[in-house]
Structure 1
Amino acid sequence: MNCHLIPDEKFTDKVINFLLDNYPDGCNYFFIYNEGKKFYEGNYKNVKKVDNILNSENEICEILQKADRIFIHGFGATQIIKFFNKHIKFIDKSVVIMWGGDLYNDHIFLESHNGLCLRLRYSMLLKRRIIKKTPIFMTFTCTDYDRANKWYGANGKRYDCLYPSNLDKNLLNIIKKTPDESCKRILIGNSAMPTNNHLEAFETIKKYAGENIKVFCPLSYGGTTEYVNNVISVGEKIFGDKFIPVLEYMSINEYSQLLADIDIAILAFDRQQATANLEILAYYGAKVYMKKDCALWEHYVERDKCAFYDIDNLKISTFENFCEFSPENKEINRNYFSKIWSNAYLKTLWDEVIVS
């Protein structure tokens, strides 16, 4: 029997349903810790919701004792780190599924505070103690494991991981790209989080401000009011009325249509983020620019041969080169993401760990 510890997030129901549907012999049991969230509304006998892992310690330990393998979905929650430091014996049969933020966020915070945060350093020490003993990792990009090794001493075996996409496949089949020959539609980032490096992205393309473009910038969540206002101020100063900040939450249909209509995306992340947005953009034929030293580049371009482009090339790129994107490369990306969205492909990845 496998026991899964997973937080209550927007995608939790799809992960649980996928595992129950594809491994229906009762071999998977789930503890959902909600931390005040209420996304999951399923009603399965082998799914148990708890407010906090530490408050249900005895019950969880009883199940973990019986489990052949323990899947820890995400490794950033304080309660998870505390629990497994207290019950370190369970790590010998555990699979840690790294989400990305559980690797990057601590280091980003320390860098922004010159390393001065004793509480965080202590938490990272506890995390390192567990990760060094973990025998199996599943990661969403191949480079995340390299960082886990560098920062936390990971030396277990690594497997690829994917969750069922949050994308509505039926919706994607209905939505069509709306042609606009009058201008090129450019997307900057995916949210108001500073990790989008908005101002850096603006500098990269400001030489095209005189061209027929519209610059869309999603800013409805993730950043402070001060940060959002500064991004808008700089964006309007450079691009004028061609700059379109997206400040209101959009429905899934509306946001998917916006992404489908984008011609060029500038994703200036230094780390893994916004993969769902990236998938839709690439599927609908947007030309995607990203940094070569971002974890996404090594995973998607160097390993899986997606047709994405290096932001640094824009320093010498004409507007024509900036926009040019061959039908052949569009098809490469569309076929790739169609493949990884399939249930059959997901199951081959999970079989390697669950069935082995």
Structure 2
Amino acid sequence: MIKNIVFFVDKSNGFPNALYGYIRENFPDYNTCFYSIDRRNEIELDTEINKIKSYKEFLLNRKISKDIRDSDLIIISGVFTMQYIFATIYRKYLSKTILQFWGGDFYQFKNQNMINRIKKFFYDICVDKSKAIVTMISTEKKEFISIFPFALKKTFYYTPVPGKNDPQNIVYRKKALSEFDKSINIVIGNSATSTNQHKEIFEMFRNKDLKGVKVLCPLSYGDSRYRDEIIELGKEIFGTSFIPITEFLTLSEYKELLMHCRVGIYNTNRQQGLGNISILTNLGKKIYIRKDNPMWDYYSNLGYRLFDCDDLANQDIEEIMQWSIDDARLNFDAIEKRNADIISNWKKILT
């Protein structure tokens, strides 16, 4: 029997196109249709992905209601908007709906302000009535249940939002290794969000002699006020060595930029930046993560070689930059293991 699956994927960071490509490439035998809400027409979607331009469409668009009604399985990837629709209009279909949480969509509720309490009312309905929960990494289940205790009895899966296999990844890796000695920069964080905890890392570098090392800081999306604070502090501490990235780059442009970095530092206090870490490890770069972040155990269990952000305070720039091609190759086997783990877990979710 061919399974009919409907995906609702949040528009952020090109994830609808990435997930669409991955599912069609690896699971072609399923009948799948994809939707993404983009009320301001901000993103370019694959022509096979249905763009929803207003919430009214859920009331007036018969195709949406028919696809939901006829589906064997519904997957909401990125629970940032659809929870309101499924907690109200389509509540009766939650029993065949799997919710894939990306991180920010549930970690936000650690802040129990009045607005979040109202928002969480709709999340509680969806989590309680849903078929299953998916977190991006296996070690996030504990964090999720601390926010939604009643989810303890739910079925849990874990897997990130992958992209279609890109043959260029091999090309980029070969180029990165051939130009390894030219990689003399550091990249810190993945966005202009406070969970990156840039300030803590910047202060660790305040008295270090960078010796020509540039510090790149991706800040193209997130909180604009926080972004401005980080740029001001970065210029104060690093001077002309600080390079804030405030414009959106194409994926190819971003990979070229990261190719010239040797070290990536992710001081996030939650799961965040998985895509950035994937790019950097494929390019053979050294990665620092907080040990108290659930990502540490996730990557370590897959065989990655990681370094603790806390160690940066006591390391000079030579020690931070110490990383060889042989070191880089240690993570390549772990990447293949992770890729196999991802497809295995998607298979469990879809079947």
TM over 0.5: yes
Equivalent residue in structure 1 for 2:142, among 120, 143, 146 = 146
Q: How many residues end up aligned between the 2 structures?
A: 339
CA distance in 1, matches of 2:77, 2:338: 20
* SS of equivalent to 1:207: coil
Change beyond 3 A, Cα 1:165–1:157: same
2:304 partner letter: C
- 1:56 is matched with 58
RMSD: 2.9
User: Residues 169-212 of structure 1: CA distance to partner in whole angstroms, max 9, x if unpaired?
Assistant: 4165146233557x942212123333322221111222323544
CA distance in 1, matches of 2:235, 2:181: 22
CA contact (8 A) 2:219 2:244 kept: yes
Structure 1 window deviating more from structure 2 (227-236 vs 199-208): it is 227-236
Bigger mean CA deviation after superposition, 244-253 or 275-284: 244-253
Answer whether contact 1:4 1:29 (CA < 8 A) is retained: yes
Distance 2:140 2:56 in 1: 28
| Aligned position for 1:84 | 87
Query: Is 1:198 paired with 2:194?
Result: no
| CA gap 1:234/1:209 in 2 versus in 1, 3 angstroms | farther
User: Hey, what does 1:307 align to over in structure 2?
Assistant: 305
For residues 120-170 of structure 1, what are the alpha-carbon distances to aligned partners after superposition, in whole Å with 9 as ceiling and x for unaligned?
311102212221232322221123332221112323122222333378441
The alpha-carbon deviation at position 230 of structure 1 amounts to 3.2
Amino acid at match of 1:270: N
Instruction: Give the CA deviation at 1:257.
Output: 1.6
Tell me, in whole angstroms, the C-alpha distance in 2 between the residues paired with 1:264 and 1:5.
Answer: 35
- Give the gaps of 5 or more residues in structure 2: none
Work out whether residues 83 and 123 of structure 2, in 8 Å CA contact, stay in contact via their aligned partners in 1.
no
Q: Which residue of 2 aligns with 1:222?
A: 222
Shift in Å at residue 97 of structure 1? 1.0
Q: What's the % identity of the aligned pairs? A: 25
1:353 — aligned with what? Answer: 349
Tell me how far 1:83 sits from its aligned partner: 2.7
Contact 1:184–1:263, Cα closer than 8 Å, also in 2: yes
Cα distance in structure 1, aligned partners of 2:32 and 2:309:
43
> 1:307 corresponds to which letter in structure 2?
R
Whole-Å separation in 2 of the counterparts to 1:20 and 1:248: 31
Cα gap change, 1:329 to 1:53, in 2 (>3 Å): farther
Q: Which runs of 5+ in 1 are unaligned?
A: none
Residue 320 of structure 1, CA deviation: 4.1
Aligned partners of 2:22 and 2:165 also within 8 Å:
no
TM-score scaled by length of structure 2: 0.83
Matched to 1:201, the amino acid is I
User: Any runs of at least 4 consecutive aligned residues in structure 1 with deviations exceeding 6 A, and if so which?
Assistant: none
